[in-house]
Structure formats: structure tokens, C-alpha cells
């Protein structure tokens, strides 16, 4: 784990959803190294516990929280638990997400609903649950994981996913406006393709997985796939006081893919 000499998040309590894997785990790890007390939330409790244990083993503070972010009652209970155990919440990262492959003419209604529930409704549910608490505390930070596919369309496989991520970006902007008077900052990070299970899910569905992976990498002007840790650095900046005047922003961390 990268240790952060400046301890930029010392004293902060951070809730990170989808922290059991990939980008969420990298964010949780980075926040732990920066001094935050991290609550690693995931529907996969074993994965969340592994993420929390690694932070603790590296000298940080962390605990696992089991929760399905599409379940409003479970979200409310999880936020209450984190508030009680953490002594408050300063910072939330709405990161849990899935990729349902399909086009408008191939997706079922159930697939569409599942994609929008996990990627968009969850941001609403978690942010709504924590909002009164942040207002009461005089402010806080809400960060959302968007995607380059919320900024540009992709052929064949990504209609529901692209729509879900575009919705996350507009929700981020609305939350920034609504939260500003309360000291709540809301921003989004749009990653390009990073190595990990979500990319494997896409490439393994293609006729030639290795060729598909190379083709995806080539879509990024820098020419290579990102690492979740590259994305986590942007989340650290946006969470820290260095970004105190940044709200409503959409930060691309994508090897240049959004402008290609």
C-alpha cells in the first residue's frame, strides 16, 4: 500500500461502496493509506472483509459492511451503522456498479432494470441516506464513479451501461447544486477501461478475448489499459481539502479516451 506522508484524509470517516474489488478496493486502500477510517461496503461480505483486513494490516483503520446498494432498507441500515461505529461520516464514494452487456434490440426489461438499479438508483439511495447527516455536520463529500462510457457512446454492447453512467454524471451535477449551500461537494470520476473483473467480463463475452482486450487498450490514446490505482488517485484528490473549491466536476481518468 502506498503510504501517504501527508495523511490527507486523517480524521475523516469514508464509506466506499463496491469496495470488495477493482476500483472500489483501490479507492478504499488509498483512503486508508491517507489516514481515513474506511468502511468498505460490498454485497460480497468476504471481499469487503479482505479489503478491510488489508488496510488494517498496512496500519490503517477499516471495517467491512455487507449491503446490497439497490435495497433501500439495507442502505439506510448500513449508513446508520457506519455513523454509529465511525462517529459520523465525512465522505462517501458511490462506486458499486455492474456492466450488463446488450443493445436496445437485445436487452430484456429485467436486464435494463438491473443495470439502472445497481448503477444509478444506488447513487440516489446511498446519497439520500447520508444527506441529512452531512447537512447536520455542516458539509461533506459525495463522489460518484462514472465512466468514459457516460461521455461517449459505444456500439452494440453498452446501451444500458452508457445510459446508466450518463445519468450518474447528471445526478452528480444536481447533487452539487443542491448540496453547495450545505457545504456538500459532489463530483464524479470517469475512468477509462482498467484491468480487472469488469473488463474480463466484457472480453470473455467476445469471440477472441485476447484480441478484444488489445482492441480495448487501443481505444485509449495513451495506448494502454489503466490500473485501478490510477483512478484511486483522482478520488483521493477530490476527497481532500485540495479540492475544496471543486464541485459538480466530471474528471476523466481514461488515457485520453474521452477525447479520442
Residues involved in catalysis: 161
Binding to ligand NAD by residue 215, rule CB under 6 A? no
Name which of 140 and 150 has its Cβ closer to ligand NAD. 150
Binding segment for ligand NAD among 29-37, 55-63, 65-73, 152-160 (CB under 6 A)?
A: 65-73
> Strands 37-42 and 61-66, how do they pair?
parallel
Q: Shortest gap between Cβ of 11 and ligand NAD (angstroms)?
A: 26
Q: Does an H or E element contain 42, and which?
A: strand 37-42
Asked if residues 238 and 189 have their Cβ atoms less than 8 Å apart, the reply is yes
In the complex, the smallest distance separating the C-beta of residue 183 from ligand NAD, rounded to whole angstroms, is: 26
Least separation in angstroms between residue 37's CB and ligand NAD is 20
| Of the candidate residues 50, 68, 154, 246, the single one contacting ligand NAD (CB under 6 A) | 68
Whether the Cβ atoms of residue 141 and residue 244 lie closer than 8 Å to each other: no
Size of the site for ligand NAD (CB under 6 A): 29
Of the candidates 4, 18, 40, 175, which one interacts with ligand NAD according to CB under 6 A?
Answer: 18
Question: Which of residues 125 and 243 has its CB atom nearest to ligand NAD in the complex?
Answer: 125
**Does 125 help bind ligand NAD (rule: CB under 6 A)?**
no
CA distances from 130 to 35, 221, 232 (A): 21, 38, 22
For residue 95, the minimal CB distance to ligand NAD (Å) is: 5
Cα–Cα nearest to 16, from 46, 50, 59, 52: 52
Give the footprint of ligand NAD on residues 152-181 (CB under 6 A). none
127, 147, 172, 186: which one binds ligand NAD (CB under 6 A): 147
* Piece in contact with ligand NAD (CB under 6 A), picked from 55-63, 85-93, 94-102, 232-240: 94-102
Site string for ligand NAD, 184-213 (x = CB under 6 A): -------x-xx-xxxx--------------
- Work out whether 22 is an interface residue with ligand NAD (CB under 6 A): yes
Cβ 164 to ligand NAD, closest distance in Å? 8
Helix and strand numbers, DSSP H then E, in the chain: 9, 7
Alpha helices in 22-120 (DSSP H): 22-33, 45-57, 72-86, 109-116
CB of 6 to ligand NAD, least distance (A): 26
The rounded distance, in Å, linking the Cα atoms of 136 and 248 is 21
Comparing CA positions, the residue from 92, 125, 77 lying closest to residue 24 is: 92
Yes or no: say if 220 and 256 are a contact pair by the CB < 8 Å rule. yes
DSSP string across 186-243: EEEEEE--BSSHHHHHHHTTSSSHHHHHHHHHHTSTT-S-B-HHHHHHHHHHHHSGGG
Q: Using CB under 6 A as the criterion, which residues of the chain lie in contact with ligand NAD when the complex forms?
A: 17-18, 20-24, 42-44, 47, 67-70, 95-98, 118, 145, 147, 191, 193-194, 196-199
Amino acid at each position: 500500500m502506498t503510504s501517504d506522508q501527508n495523511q490527507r484524509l486523517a480524521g475523516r470517516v469514508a464509506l466506499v461502496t463496491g469496495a470488495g474489488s477493482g476500483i472500489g478496493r483501490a479507492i478504499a486502500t488509498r483512503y486508508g493509506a491517507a489516514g481515513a477510517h474506511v468502511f468498505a461496503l460490498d454485497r460480497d461480505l468476504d471481499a469487503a472483509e479482505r479489503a478491510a483486513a488489508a488496510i488494517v494490516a498496512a496500519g490503517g483503520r477499516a471495517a467491512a459492511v455487507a449491503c446490497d446498494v439497490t435495497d433501500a432498507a439495507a442502505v439506510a441500515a448500513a449508513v446508520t451503522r457506519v455513523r454509529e461505529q465511525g462517529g459520523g461520516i465525512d465522505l462517501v464514494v458511490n462506486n458499486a456498479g455492474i456492466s450488463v452487456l446488450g443493445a436496445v434490440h437485445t436487452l430484456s426489461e429485467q436486464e435494463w432494470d438491473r443495470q439502472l438499479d445497481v448503477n444509478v438508483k444506488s447513487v440516489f439511495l446511498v446519497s439520500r441516506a447520508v444527506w441529512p447527516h452531512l447537512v447536520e455536520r455542516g458539509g461533506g463529500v459525495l463522489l460518484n464513479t462514472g465512466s468514459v462510457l457516460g461521455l461517449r457512446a459505444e456500439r452494440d454492447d453498452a446501451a444500458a451501461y452508457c445510459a446508466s453512467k450518463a445519468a450518474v454524471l447528471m445526478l452528480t451535477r444536481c447533487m452539487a447544486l443542491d448540496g453547495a449551500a450545505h457545504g456538500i461537494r459532489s463530483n464524479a470520476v470517469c475512468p477509462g477501461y482498467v484491468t480487472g473483473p469488469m473488463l474480463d467480463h466484457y472480453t470473455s463475452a467476445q469471440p477472441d478475448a485476447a484480441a478484444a482486450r488489445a482492441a480495448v487498450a487501443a481505444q485509449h490514446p495513451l495506448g494502454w489499459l489503466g490500473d485501478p490505482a490510477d483512478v484511486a488517485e483522482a478520488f483521493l484528490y477530490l476527497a481532500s481539502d485540495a479540492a475544496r473549491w471543486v464541485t459538480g466536476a466530471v474528471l476523466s481518468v481514461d488515457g485520453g479516451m474521452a477525447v479520442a
